[in-house]
Amino acid sequence: MLNCRSICFTLLLIVTGDCYAQRQAVLKQIDLPHSYYYREMYLPQLTTGPSSLAWSPDSRRLVYSMAGSLWLQELGTIKASELTAADAYDYQPDWSPDGHWIMFTRYDGKAMELCVLDFENGKSRQLTSSGAVNLEPRFSPDGTRVAFVSTLHTGHFHIFVGQFHQGELTDVQQLTRENVSSLARYYYSQVDHEISPAWTREGGEIVFISNRGHIHGTGGFWQMKAEPNAEAHEIHYEETNWKARPDFSPDGKRLVYASYLGRAWHQL
């Protein structure tokens, strides 16, 4: 009986091992090591509560992602109305300065594409169709451009910008160039990444998070002109952990972000 049990247990381990070996990675178009890092800490997640808040231009309403849809809530109320209900998961909304459009990321199980919601008629449309992972769309202060993160062309996280007009995204260009670091990183790729873009209030430059020149964490805060291959310079460094997501105050004098300083769990 003991030998029979041992044989059965060994066969079970072999079968289980084969199943794990055949398991396909989620969003395999991302070419980075240690997928559990960016998958759990950076990619948007399905939540039962609100996530990824964005202000309306008049500061009276919030749009946020919850349970795979976008929701709208008036400040001072406890009621929320569902804005999207597609056969997919909608994340990371950002409201255009004129209040007409809400851009967001939609995950259909194969890729993450940028979409836009016409707030006046409630209809949404897809803006990108590259099959890449497109994240963190951010309208420029004048609403004519959109900065976002994408794995397009390389499988690595870089910042792109496109022209936005009447619900269409055109002339998409990669802002940050691919750079292979000589640093001995273990948890992160040898290729530097750039994530979490935020426009300066005059709209001529962006701030972002990058691990250029650093081994640990997702990097420091960098600033550059919103032009392809412009020179960037580091304006502040502390070890970040995928979730800094900086944003400027309305007067452009302060920058708020989620800090991992001292390895405390993300404090503003």
Averaged pLDDT of the chain: 91
* CA–CA gap between residue 240 and residue 238 (Å, rounded): 6
What fold is seen in the domain 27-263?
Neuraminidase (2.120.10)
Per-residue confidence (pLDDT) for residue 187, from 0 to 100: 87
pTM: 0.90
Per-residue confidence (pLDDT) for residue 26, from 0 to 100: 77
Tell me the average pLDDT across 119-147: 98
C-alpha angle 98-74-256 in degrees, rounded to nearest 5: 65
Length in residues, the chain: 268
Per-residue confidence (pLDDT) for residue 8, from 0 to 100: 47
> Considering only CA atoms, which of 146, 144, 40, 52 is closest in space to residue 98?
144
**Residue 62 main-chain phi, psi, to 5 deg:** -125, 145
pLDDT above 60: residue 102:
yes
pLDDT above 80: residue 182:
yes
- Going by C-beta distance under 8 Å and a sequence separation of 6 or more, which residues neighbour residue 192? 179, 180, 181, 210, 211, 212, 219
Tell me the average pLDDT across 101-126: 98
- Per the CB < 8 A criterion, the answer to whether 42 and 242 are in contact is yes
Q: What is the CA radius of gyration of the chain?
A: 21
Helix (H, G, I), strand (E, B) or coil at 25: coil
Q: Among 98-112, 138-152, 253-267, whose mean pLDDT is lowest?
A: 253-267
Per-residue confidence (pLDDT) for residue 129, from 0 to 100: 97
* CA–CA gap between residue 208 and residue 212 (Å, rounded): 11
The pLDDT tens digits for 197-212 are 999 999 999 999 999 9
pLDDT above 70: residue 4:
no
* Residue where the block lists tokens 């750079």: 179
Share of residues in the chain with pLDDT > 90 (%): 83
3: pLDDT confidence band, cut at 50, 70 and 90? Answer: low
- Work out the number of other CB atoms within 10 angstroms of the CB of residue 220: 20
**Residue 48 main-chain phi, psi, to 5 deg:** -90, -15
The pLDDT tens digits for 67-78 are 999 999 999 999
Give helix then strand counts, H and E, for the chain.
2, 18
pLDDT above 70: residue 19:
no
For residue 156, give both structure tokens. 């690595």
Per-residue confidence (pLDDT) for residue 2, from 0 to 100: 45
Tell me the average pLDDT across 48-66: 96
Per-residue confidence (pLDDT) for residue 169, from 0 to 100: 98
Which amino acid, one-letter code, is at 47?
T
* Residue where the block lists tokens 């994240």: 135
The pLDDT tens digits for 244-264 are 999 999 999 999 999 988 777
Per-residue confidence (pLDDT) for residue 126, from 0 to 100: 98
> Considering only CA atoms, which of 96, 85, 169, 163 is closest in space to residue 127?
169
If residue 92 lies in a helix (H) or strand (E), which one and from where to where?
Answer: strand 89-95
* CA–CA gap between residue 257 and residue 246 (Å, rounded): 4
Per-residue confidence (pLDDT) for residue 262, from 0 to 100: 76
* Residue where the block lists tokens 């459009």: 101
